[in-house]
Amino acid sequence: MLVLGLESTCDETACAIVRDGREIISETISSQIDLHAEYGGVVPELACRRHIDVIIPVLDETLSKASLSLSDIDLFAVAQGPGLIGALLIGINAAKALSLALNKPLVGVNHIEAHLYAALMSQNEPISFPCLGVVLSGGHTSLFLMQDFNTYTIIGQTVDDAVGEAFDKVAKILDLPYPGGPHIEALARQGNPSAYAFRSGQIKGRPLDFSFSGLKTAVLYAVRGKEALTASDKHNISASFQHAAFSDIINKTLLAAKQYDCRTLLFGGGVTNNQHLRTMFTSAAPELKLLWPSCGLSLDNAAMIAGLGYYNYLKKGFCGDSLNMEAFTR
Ligand code: KG4
Ligand code: ZN
């Protein structure tokens, strides 16, 4: 079964064709990083306008790389949310138009669930539920107790900034380009993780919830105390910040795995691209099965949307009138 997926939740316009939920036939990702870089974050109105400009070229390019035409597609899948409302509407309306014109079914997919499905797409063997889903992205830091992809409970989440958002804000404080995650990771390689005594927040009575806004403020104060930042200051601040954020994520994730007796952990979201995070997790939990998305599938992409669309379609079938599908922002 050939599924064409569309993704437009935030600042990537992406399209992919995936066979039977796993095999990526072709994919195209048009990133808007250049557009938002000077603002240090995503400007929603600019994002929507760019999605409109590129969605059809991105669709055409994906079909042409696969040497397929629209009539070869069996099912359309689109990211229904969460995300920016205007951005979501572009992808959803494009998908509705395709479904209507070609008389093929359309399914809506949850972007966050799709980030976790990306880890499954990168494995050869099936996974055994229940498992713990760990989403670390620019918008979310959440722990999911999963019975299946559509059946789960959120057992921990951030009460303020998402971890990727904290990386982006710290990068801005250090005068690094947006998005900051990869730049902090690179600088941290040359820094001392114990140079600064940074700590992530703890929420009284909620041991599985996260807080990163105090950590970000601690970095701001550390920088304010200095006249000018040397290269070595930037290395040490990056390494200490990254270490504080990741130690906290690992502690809470392993606590959750123990508490809910999960032996398999599924990871998703842009921050899971960080190799230092993967190394820290692997050495902290050698006894657990850690399933990471392959690098191309960590960041926002449409292959994960097509993949989960296929999975949901097989599980639940085609549910009703997809032309009435609405975007959900949260
Ligand atoms: O999942 P994603 O592409 O978009 C959202 O759905 O949010 O995640 C983007 C986030 C950004 O905050 C970015 O700084 C962060 O992922 N990120 C990283 C790395 N690569 C991307 N954070 C830490 N280390 C990285 N290597
Ligand atoms: Zn995402």
Is there an atom of ligand 1 within 6 Å of 299 CB? yes
pLDDT of residue 329: 93
Question: Do residues 143 and 284 share a domain?
Answer: yes
Question: Do residues 165 and 281 share a domain?
Answer: yes
Digit-by-digit pLDDT tens for the chain (330 residues) are: 999 999 999 999 999 999 999 999 999 999 998 999 888 788 999 999 999 999 999 999 999 999 999 999 999 999 999 999 999 999 999 999 999 999 999 999 999 999 999 999 988 777 889 999 999 999 999 999 999 988 999 999 999 999 999 999 999 999 999 899 999 999 999 999 999 999 999 999 999 999 999 999 999 999 997 888 999 999 999 999 999 999 999 999 999 999 999 999 999 999 999 999 999 999 999 999 999 999 789 999 999 999 999 999 998 876 667 889 999 998
Q: Atom of ligand 1 at shortest distance to CA of 171?
A: 14
The CA distance from 180 to 9, in Å, is 19
Contacts 24+ apart (CB under 8 A), 156-160: 156/206, 156/208, 156/209, 156/210, 156/252, 156/256, 157/209, 157/210, 158/209, 158/210, 158/211, 158/212, 159/201, 159/203, 159/209, 159/210, 159/211, 160/201, 160/211, 160/212, 160/213
Q: Atom of ligand 1 at shortest distance to CA of 242?
A: 23
CA of 185 to the centre of ligand 2 (A): 19
* 269: containing domain: 129-292
Report if residue 328 sits inside a domain: no
Strand pairing class (23-31; 75-81) = unpaired
One-letter identity of residue 26: S
Report if residue 321 sits inside a domain: no
What is the total residue count of the chain?
330
Looking at the 3D structure of the chain, how many domains does it have? 2
Domain containing 263 — which CATH number?
3.30.420.40
The residue whose CA has the least distance to atom 2 of ligand 1 is 270
Report if residue 83 sits inside a domain: yes
Residues with CB under 5 A from ligand 2 (ion): 137, 300
Question: Do residues 75 and 210 share a domain?
Answer: no
Q: Note the ligand closest to the C-alpha atom of 293.
A: 1
Two tokens at 280?
A: 């820290």
CA angle 58, 63, 66 (to 5 degrees): 125
Question: Do residues 272 and 310 share a domain?
Answer: no
Q: Note the ligand closest to the C-alpha atom of 272.
A: 1
pLDDT of residue 244: 98
Question: Do residues 135 and 98 share a domain?
Answer: no
The residue whose CA has the least distance to atom 13 of ligand 1 is 181
The residue whose CA has the least distance to atom 5 of ligand 1 is 138
Question: Do residues 100 and 183 share a domain?
Answer: no
Question: Do residues 161 and 270 share a domain?
Answer: yes
Question: Do residues 28 and 162 share a domain?
Answer: no
Report if residue 322 sits inside a domain: no
pLDDT of residue 37: 85
Report if residue 281 sits inside a domain: yes
Note whether 66 and 313 are within 8 A (CB).
Answer: no
Report if residue 254 sits inside a domain: yes
Question: Which pTM was predicted?
Answer: 0.93
Question: Do residues 133 and 148 share a domain?
Answer: yes
Number of DSSP helices (H) and strands (E) in the chain, helices first = 10, 10
Question: Do residues 38 and 139 share a domain?
Answer: no
Question: Do residues 262 and 310 share a domain?
Answer: no
Comparing CA positions, the residue from 30, 80, 79 lying closest to residue 54 is 30
Report if residue 123 sits inside a domain: no
